[in-house]
Structure 1
Amino acid sequence: MMITPFYRAALLIGALLLAGCSHNSQERDDTRPQAWLQPGTRVTLPPPGITPALSSQQLLTASVNGKTQSLLVMLNADAQKVTLAGLSSVGIRLFLATYNETGIHTEQSIVAPELPPASQVLADVMLSHWPVSAWLPQLPQGWTLKDQGDRRELRNADGRLVTEIVYLQRKGKREPISIEQHVFHYHITIQYLDD
């Protein structure tokens, strides 16, 4: 099965939804994975644990360069690890990524060089689900991440909007429903399948 470049964009979230050259935090852990926020700027991902635990099945629909593609994602996260499985629209597993205290471990079921690194996929997932307080120590100097009503905005040191996440109250929880990545030019909508 051929994986199109569009799957690559869909996976950028976890797309997706899951990204600096310099990092000034004294608490940086060089054993943790990094991801691109914009060209030339990387960030170390926050620790993998989150409470309360998350578990969801999502249909991600990504739009890139006027093309649309869907990807099924199963997300499980608890106080020790994050597990993310990506499936094609016909149910074929494309990848399985686990992030725990020892780093990211991946299994790729289909050889597809255009798939992004697992850390990039996890970055979008964690950016949309993890609290702002987990991200702030990780961000490059001058970058901001703020919740404003039903939106979360990641801005670079110049104040430019890099990523915008829209939320909806669902089952008493605030859940991301779309991610707009303004620098890498992709948009992902998230439909929850476990209602």
Structure 2
Amino acid sequence: MRQLMPAIGILLVMLTTGCSHQLQRQTCVKLTPEVNYCLAPLLQSSSNSEQALSQKISFTHGEKHHELLTELALDTSDMTLVGLAPIGQPLFTVTYNGGEVLSQQNVLMGEDFKAEYLMAIMQLIYWPHEQVNGYFNQGEMIDFDCQQPRCSALMVNEKHAITIDYSDDNPWKSNVSLHFPAANITLVITPLL
């Protein structure tokens, strides 16, 4: 048994280090066949203080439903999003420094996970419209009247390509529902206290 212990330890180290890999991602994403969005610059806080938001995200794509816990952290130099499975298993860490997107992700996320899309969606939800609108090749984010305290949409050819409903005027304190019909995606974000 003593002879097996070092071998088991080495195997465990190999398995845990082999479970994730780092990838450099694109800063521009295709949201619809006609709309590209390039990540906007980082938000500049007047107090230069760090902002962090813990969230539960429920994600539906077609018939598939997933939940994860995230931590979104912003400071003057980085936007970082960390994702965990509901049981606490690390899934990904994505960082945008205003110039490039790097993702460290668990191999269980698969090749289809595109971290840059998640960063783009977070900007559309939390950044002011005037800061993201210059980074679409066409279309723009607008607010529109609805039954919620606030509703926004990505308008493309006079149609809502993406809609975002907020339970509060301040997106950072709000429950958020994002509907993206072209991609068959619904995202529900609940802030955690």
TM-score range, shorter chain: 0.7 to 0.9
SS at structure 1 position matched to 2:168: strand
Specify which structure has the bigger relative contact order, considering alpha-carbon pairs within 8 angstroms and separated by 6 or more residues. Answer: 1
Q: Distance in 2 between matches of 1:100 and 1:33?
A: 10
| Kept after mapping to 1: 8 A contact 2:163/2:180 | yes
Question: Aligned in 2, Cα 1:67/1:111: closer, same or farther, shift over 3 Å?
Answer: closer
Report the count of equivalent residues: 162
* Displacement after TM superposition at 1:176 (Å): 5.0
Q: How does 1:37-116 map to 2 (within 5 A)?
A: 37-51=31-45, 53-116=50-113
SS at structure 1 position matched to 2:123: helix
TM-score by length of 1: 0.73
Amino acid at match of 1:89: P
- Structure 1 residue 164 corresponds to structure 2 residue 160: no
Amino acid at match of 2:165: V
SS at structure 1 position matched to 2:131: helix
Q: What value does the CA root-mean-square deviation take over the aligned residues?
A: 2.4
Percent identical among aligned pairs is 22
SS at structure 1 position matched to 2:119: helix
1:117 matched to which residue of 2? 114
1:146 matched to which residue of 2? 142
What does the per-residue CA deviation read over 1:52-90, in whole Å, with 9 as the maximum and x for residues that have no partner? 653111111112223322111110112221000111121
2:155 matched to which residue of 1? 155
| Kept after mapping to 2: 8 A contact 1:167/1:174 | no
Gaps of 5+ in 2: 1-25
| Kept after mapping to 2: 8 A contact 1:76/1:84 | yes
SS at structure 2 position matched to 1:55: strand
What does the per-residue CA deviation read over 1:156-179, in whole Å, with 9 as the maximum and x for residues that have no partner? 1x2221111111228895535111
Q: Distance in 2 between matches of 1:170 and 1:137?
A: 23
Structure with the largest fraction of helix: 2
* Displacement after TM superposition at 1:41 (Å): 3.1
What does the per-residue CA deviation read over 1:25-65, in whole Å, with 9 as the maximum and x for residues that have no partner? xxxxxxx7111211353221101234365311111111222
Q: Which one has a bigger Cα radius of gyration?
A: 2
Q: Distance in 2 between matches of 1:163 and 1:75?
A: 21
